[in-house]
A and B are shown apart, each in its own frame.
Chain A
Amino acid sequence: MTQVMDRPVELKEPASPAARTARRKALLEWIAIHSLGIAAALFFTLPFVFVFLTSLMSDDQALSRDLIPHTWEWSNYQKVFDTPGFLTWWKNTLLYAGAGTVLVVVSSIPVAYALAKFRFRGRNLSLMLVISMMMLPPQVVVIPMYLFWAKQLDLSGTLWPLIIPLAFGDAFSIFLLRQFLMTIPNEYLDAAKVDGCGDLRTLLKVVLPMAKPGIAAVALFQFFNAWNDYFGPQIYTSENPGAWTLSYGLESFKGAHHTDWNLTMAATVLVMAPVILVFFFAQKAFVEGVTLTGVKG
């Protein structure tokens, strides 16, 4: 920031040779940095562009080496929606993501609050266990979990094995919220106590309003996790296409239309679009979450 502020002063100086070389150097640097930026921007955006262009091609053109559609087949998107199952997957995904998000937020808040603000024996151990759970690859425990849900509770082929565990706090969400709650000064909590608030009242009336950005970040991450989850739906719903989610169904779409790259790419766009749309509305909460889990202790 200071560099930007300083420069106009530099520019107004009489054009001494030293100032001129400095200006030329700054201009060259500007050009170099922005060329690099444009190159990087191409790397990051061209995949989206090609996917989108292909999604609008006719069937036979999608199998050619063309990069740009001859005719713009917007009806491809209609065809994707008409594919049997696609709307059901959409509905299942919204259920998994929506219900899961509510459950995770409600169950993780009290745990995060206790870990951030209560002093008790075993607090550090608990936190370390939360972090261990966060780092644990889901595949490590999948065999007994599958046997538990499928053989003992007979719930395979449904979304329940994916949703129910979220009612018991999610390690990542607890950790992220705890990081956020640590930043709330204890004075607020003490003041509430002096005013005669119990723990629950303090949490609901004082802490939660201040923790809104943290809660928003947790909700977003959970929503995206459910949206992106492939492994969970594969394990628990693969036998019943009526319970598939978009992420899992998308791959089977390639099978149903195994040479139709245009329709497959249209479906891919439709799976990516909601995430990107949500991001534009909630950019701040999302980036804050990334930095909070990554940077602050």
Chain B
Amino acid sequence: MSTVTLASKRRRAALRTAAFMSPWLIGFTVFFAYPMISTLYFSFMHYDGFKPPTWSGTKNWTYVFESYPYFWPALRNTLWLVVITVTLRVLFGLGIGLLITKIKTGAGVFRTLFYLPYLAPPVAATMAFAFLFNPGTGPVNSILEKVGIPAPGWFNDPSWSKPALTLLFLWGVGDLMVIFMAALLDVPKEQYEAAELDGASAWQRFRYVTIPNISPIIMFAVVTGVIAAMQCYTQPLVAGKVASGVIQGAGTLFEPGYPEKSTLTLPQLIYNLGFQRFDYGSACVVALVLFALSMAFTAFLMRRRGGLIQAGD
């Protein structure tokens, strides 16, 4: 008797869970599992979207790694963004977060002003920066020249385009400011008082009290930043297009990564290979490289003990 009711109870619980989870179960299958398997499948096929796909073995792979002239520059640029931009963004976000906790007069106004750029839609922000840094008539160079500083070419100069992009990302640091601010305010006051009694200097208090307390948040900022950097698409693309003066329209071809591939990223290659060259197979190879990179970092994030994204009890 009791085993029957227990079994039916269990079945009911399983049904209930399945019912509540069903939107995501469908979503996961259709929008994650199926396309992932297809991506792997197409990476071994020759497919232009018109003629039926044909088996091509590792041809796409060797093409991407050996003859496609954009792959290695794009990978290098993506890694550049991952290392340099993320580091600077975390340091700057921490700095701004610290600053906002110290501001005593008008803190609310400052916080809002620091936060607003984070809200600017990426295209709009990039258009704004492409205009601000426009070498000919942009306000930044107008001011620099008035002050007597030689004005760089920014998005039109391959050695300045990545720093200009980084400035754009630093401008939108508001999200990091908020999480760092919350973490900094959570550091127990007693620890600072104890350190001060022991004669610790301001730097020592920061180094030995603040940093250990907020290190999980720093790690979180680094890993989410790395993943965002690997997905970086809109900003370098729009900046390159606007700077090169390309007239926009459906199907317009443009040199990806203007100037001189300096703003090319892996996601842009997937677009270029798939939707401009109609080489879906090779686009899938790049997609898998991107997938491997991002999953490696995600695994790292989830494996951290006492990490931020805990599975729960």
Contact = CB atoms under 8 A, between A and B. Distances in A.
Interface of A: 2, 4, 30, 33-34, 36-37, 40-41, 43-45, 47-48, 50-51, 54, 62-67, 107-108, 110-111, 113-116, 118, 120, 123-124, 126-133, 135-148, 151, 165, 167-169, 174-175, 182, 199, 224, 227-228, 230-231, 234-235, 238-241, 246-248, 250-252, 254-256, 258, 261, 264-265, 268, 271-272, 275-276, 279, 283, 287, 290-291, 294-297
A67 B139 contact: yes
A146 B238 contact: no
17 contacts: A30-B104, A33-B102, A50-B131, A114-B17, A120-B17, A123-B311, A127-B312, A131-B302, A133-B28, A135-B295, A137-B267, A144-B39, A230-B233, A234-B271, A251-B248, A272-B120, A276-B119
Interface majority SS on A: helix, strand, loop or mixed?
Answer: helix
A136 B34 CA distance: 14
The 3 lowest CB-CB distance pairs between A and B, nearest first, are A168-B27, A255-B248, A144-B38
A34 B105 contact: yes
B274 to A, nearest CB: 5
Given A141-B287, A143-B274, A268 B302 contact: no
Nearest to B117: A44
Interface majority SS on B: helix, strand, loop or mixed?
Answer: helix
B81 interface: no
A139 B241 contact: no
Given A227-B121, A265-B128, 20 more contacts: A44-B116, A50-B132, A62-B137, A67-B142, A110-B20, A114-B21, A118-B13, A127-B312, A139-B270, A140-B294, A144-B35, A145-B31, A228-B122, A238-B251, A248-B123, A250-B127, A252-B248, A268-B124, A295-B179, A297-B310
Interface of B: 13-14, 16-17, 19-24, 26-28, 30-32, 34-36, 38-39, 42, 49, 96, 99-100, 102-105, 110, 112-117, 119-125, 127-129, 131-132, 134, 137, 139, 142-143, 171, 175, 178-179, 182-183, 189, 217, 220-221, 224, 227, 230-231, 233-234, 238, 241-242, 245-251, 266-267, 270-271, 274-275, 280, 283-284, 287-288, 290-291, 294-295, 297-298, 301-302, 307-312
B72 to A, nearest CB: 18
A256 B183 CA distance: 46
Contact of B20 (A51, A127, A199): A199
Given A132-B298, A268-B128, A255 B274 contact: no
Given A111-B24, A228-B122, A120 B271 contact: no
Contact of A297 (B31, B143, B308): B308
Given A51-B131, A111-B20, A139-B290, A294 B179 contact: yes
Contacts of B241: 251, 254
Contacts of A142: 270-271, 274, 287
